[in-house]
Amino acid sequence: MEIPNDIDWSLIAKYLAGEASPAETELVLRWAASDPTHASELEALRGSRRQPDTSAQTPQFDVDAAWAKTPVARARASRARRARVPRLSVETPPRKRPRVVAALSLLAAAAVLVMVAPIAWRTFQERQSRLAQRPTDDDKIYETHKGERSKIELADGTSIAMAADTRLRVSSHYGESRRDVFLTGEALFDVVHDANKPFAVHVADLVAQDLGTEFGVRAYAGKRLQIVVATGAVSLGIDKSRPHPSNTKLPDIPPVKLSPGDLGQLDSTGQIQLEHGVDVTRYLGWSEGRLQYQLAPLDEIIADLDRWYDVDIRLADSSLNTTRVTMSVTGKSVDDVMTVLAAALALHVERKGRVIRMY
C-alpha cells in the first residue's frame, strides 16, 4: 500500500472519530509511522479531543494548540486550494465643493458661538444630531458583502475599516457642525479629532462619541453590541436624538467613558457593562486579516466564518452551539479551517458549494 506524503485530512478526522475502515485505519497508521512529524501531527489532533470538560454543557477545545503543532498542515494550507479570501478594497469619496447652504450654515454656527450662551449651543448641536438621523438621498452609503472587507477615508481624514457584511451611512450634513455616521455590522474607526465638530457613531439606541480615538464597534443585528478602545477615549451613552415612539421611554443611563483597553458591552437589560484591560488585538485583529477567539461559543465563531468566507455553515446538533473553542484564523482556506475544527470536535464535514454541514 502506497503511503502518501500529504494525507487527506478528512480521512484523519474519520479515523479520530473511530469510523475508519480497516484499510483506512492502516493507511493513517502507516502514514503516521513513516515520518516523526506525521506522528506528532496525529497526536496533537488526538490530544485536542482529550481535554477535560469544565462543564457538561460547555465542553472546551483548543484548536490552536493542535494546529500549532502541525507544521506540515501549515505548509499544506499555503499550497492547498484557497477558498474565497476576504477582499480588501480602498475607497476614498471625492471631495465635494462646499455648497453655499453649507457655508451659510457654518457662518450661522460661528455667530451662535459668539452671541449665545453655552446651553443654546448644546441645543443647536442636539438639533443638528436629530437632523442627521433622518436619511436623505444625499447621504453616502458604504456596504460590504459576505467575504469582503473595505477601507474608506472621509473628507476630514478619518479612516474606517469595514468588516464583512457591514453597512455604514454617512450623513449628508457630515462636517457642517457635527460628524454623524450610522453603523450596522462591524468597523474600526481611526478618527481625526475635532472638538468643535464631534464625531459620533450611532448604533441602535446607543451613540459612541469620539474623544480623540481609535476604536472598534461591533453591532450586527441580533448580536450583543461591543465597543473596544485602542487609543484615546470614547463616550458611550443612550442616543436621545434618535426618533422613538411617543410611548417609548428611554432608560436614564449616564454616558460611560471608555479608555484604551476598555470593552463596553450592552447587556440584555439595556445596561452598559465595562471590562478593563482586554486584549484589544483579539477584538480588532479582523482589520489585519486575522480572526481570534478565546473560549468563544461555537455558534458565534460559525457566524463569523459565514461572513468571512461567504459560506453557509450548518450544525446538525444544536447542542454544539455552546461548545467553547479557542482558535485563530489567519490566511487559511475555509476547507482547512473546517477540517481541523471538525477533527478537534470529532465531527464530520460535508461541503456542497457554499453550504458546509457539520454533524
Q: Pick the range with the lowest mean pLDDT from 155-164, 183-192, 239-248, 319-328.
A: 239-248
**Number of Cβ atoms within 10 Å of the Cβ of 89:** 11
pTM of the model: 0.68
pLDDT (mean) for 112-122: 41
- Tell me if the domain spanning 9-86+290-358 has CATH number 3.55.50.30: yes
pLDDT, one tens digit per residue, over 71-113 is 555 555 555 444 444 443 434 344 444 343 343 343 344 444 3
Task: Please name the residues in contact with 212: beta carbons below 8 A apart, sequence gap of 6 or more.
Answer: 191, 193, 232, 233
Which fold would CATH assign to domain 94-281? Jelly Rolls (2.60.120)
pLDDT (mean) for 42-57: 56
Decide which of 169 and 86 is more confident: 169
pLDDT at 209 over 80: yes
Q: Pick the range with the lowest mean pLDDT from 19-23, 144-148, 170-174, 228-232.
A: 19-23
Domain spans, the chain: 9-86+290-358, 94-281
CA distances from 91 to 154, 165, 182, 183 (A): 9, 16, 18, 17
CA distances from 219 to 15, 27, 77, 208, 269 (A): 40, 48, 32, 12, 17
pLDDT at 278 over 80: yes
Read off the pLDDT band of 20 (50, 70, 90): confident
